[in-house]
Amino acid sequence: MDLFRAKRVYRFIPIGAAATFMFWAFAHFGVNEHLLYRGPHPEGFNPYYPPPPPFAGPPPPYPPPEDYHIPAPPVTKWSERASAVKDAFRHAYGGYQEYAGEHDELLPVTNGSVDNFNGWRLTMVDSLDTMLIMGLHDEFQETIPVLANMTFALREGAYAPFFETVIRYLGGLLSAYALSGEPILLTRADDLGRVLLPAFNTTYGLPMYAVNTVSGKTRMGWTGANILWAEALSCQMEYKYLAHLTGRREYFDRVERIMDLMNDADVKDNQFATKWHVMTGKPTSSQFSVGAFADSAHEYLLKQWLLTGKSEPKARDMYLRDVEAILNNLLYVSANRELLYVTDTINGSPTHNFEHLSCFLPGLLALGAHTLDLPTRDRQLHEWAARGLAYTCWITYADHETGLGPDEMYMTRMPVDAEHPKGGRWMELVQGWDAEGQPGGLPPGLKEVPPEKESTKRDYYAMKSDYMLRPETVESFYVMWRTTGDEIWRERGWEVFQAIEREARTASGYASLASVEKSPARLKDEMPSFFTAETLKYLYLLFTDEELIPLDRWVFNTEAHPLPVFEWSNWEKERYGIASAPSQGQTRPPSDV
């Protein structure tokens, strides 16, 4: 009986072999029809969709071939400084791996960990493109198995903050995919982009504060039914690039609907409010600002236009309207050293608060002046404002014993008098300078003055004296150097890096400072992920002679994740309605996909 059964089994061998062959043939020849990353293509099947990663110059393709050889660059002052920043990243990321590798961020004083952004290993994801840019391929390779098993699932009752999750996690995955071509990164980005979509399920498409990635439930944040302008307009770069890679119309439609809403909104003097009601789609505050509530929204107007190959004039035109309002209403000159600063207004009245977060603005203005086809006078104004603001950001660092700048300041304003009825408003001062024949050759607010170590003699006092390892100042230094060629911005960046090494370094990483006033500084037990994602990245790029991320081929999101410039194809323009924008006063209807 056993022999008979054995012989009967042999009859199934040919059938098994045939089934195996058929399965192989289907997998081999049928995979091109899989629709996971393939959108409809009216011109016929496109075997190269999604488009391959651009590899626009360095960094080298990942993983490098065995015979791939990069000639060793000559050792220079700047290459040594770039190497020092790379060592700082290794130290910070190594400490994170050792003490917090399964969590979001390192506690660098106590060698602990914290899950403050979903518990999905934030510092790792936020640092992926930094590793690639610095050529740390071994560290990058170690992340791939972790990412392959990542699900982005949250327990019931837990919520992912939409804004932070998009700019840090989704932006980090997309940038690392663009730089490496690693397919799992695009798969995970698509997964994450999809599970965040329920945040847009509101009357006018404005995103809710947070979403559960399993149930799709959403909740409000500390602003209640209001959404910050930065939260509403800092998802377009990520979702448009993801739409380009996947062909998913819903990704484009959801974020473009917000652009339509803002473009058609009845906004007085182009001063976009910092808060908007999620259910009515109307502004709910009288504040106009480039600070914490609005900062990255200003960025994404220009950067959307650049990212999509300058093919979306609506974004460009909104940026130009926005910047005109900023220059006319938010820029002032201080009373003592005549420093140019940017503040905010409430009901049209300036508060004269100046935030470290606002130090992104000089870099943005410089980028716009470098890439936009502006009238000569407008270009001049943008460049002047960029230079003056960047210097003020620098001097707030140089003024302090630690060599690092405070998080928020109150500026001493010029008095309101017959000569200056606007009390030091920059555009008024520039007009007066023009009328006098431009004495001295430099407009008001651009004179470079020495640091002031005596706090009572400064043009400001610190409202928040801590330094949070923020990137905005060195971000602007990087863009200023790349757009002007002036190496003074590199030298200033080096002084900032030396101060970080001296004041913020711990045994396992780098820590925020409780106060910038005295050295050695008292430390706070935190190392935000943006330190490795942004601050060290911009410093490394600032000290690298070769332009690793050319500004005409890559665009940084607000978390310093570079995304490659792309052009919408004709079928994409037709599918997404890019060529025929909604008429004035009408918002984009919900997606039908």
Positions annotated as catalytic residues are 164, 168, 295, 472
Q: For residue 51, give the 3-state DSSP assignment.
A: coil
| Those residues with Cβ within 8 angstroms of residue 338's Cβ, 6 or more apart along the chain or in another chain | 444, 445, 447, 449
DSSP 295-359: HHHHHHHHHHHHHTTT--HHHHHHHHHHHHHHHHHTEEEBSSS--EEE--EETTEE--EEEGGGG
- 365: its two tokens: 């203005």
How far apart, in whole angstroms, are the C-alpha atoms of residue 195 and residue 300?
23
Angle between helices 295-307 and 313-329 (to 10 degrees): 150
- Whole-angstrom CA distances from 249 to 476, 537, 565 are 34, 32, 19
For residue 149, give the amino acid letter: N
CB count in 10 Å sphere of residue 67:
5
Cis omega before residue 40 (within 30°)?
A: no
H helix intervals, 55-76? none
DSSP 422-486: TSSBHHHHHHHHHHTT-TTSS-TT---------GGGSSEEEEE--B----HHHHHHHHHHHHH--
For residue 20, give the amino acid letter: T
For residue 355, give the amino acid letter: E
Cis omega before residue 50 (within 30°)?
A: yes
**Cβ–Cβ < 8 Å for 208, 219:** yes
Cα dihedral 25/28/33/34 (nearest 10): 110
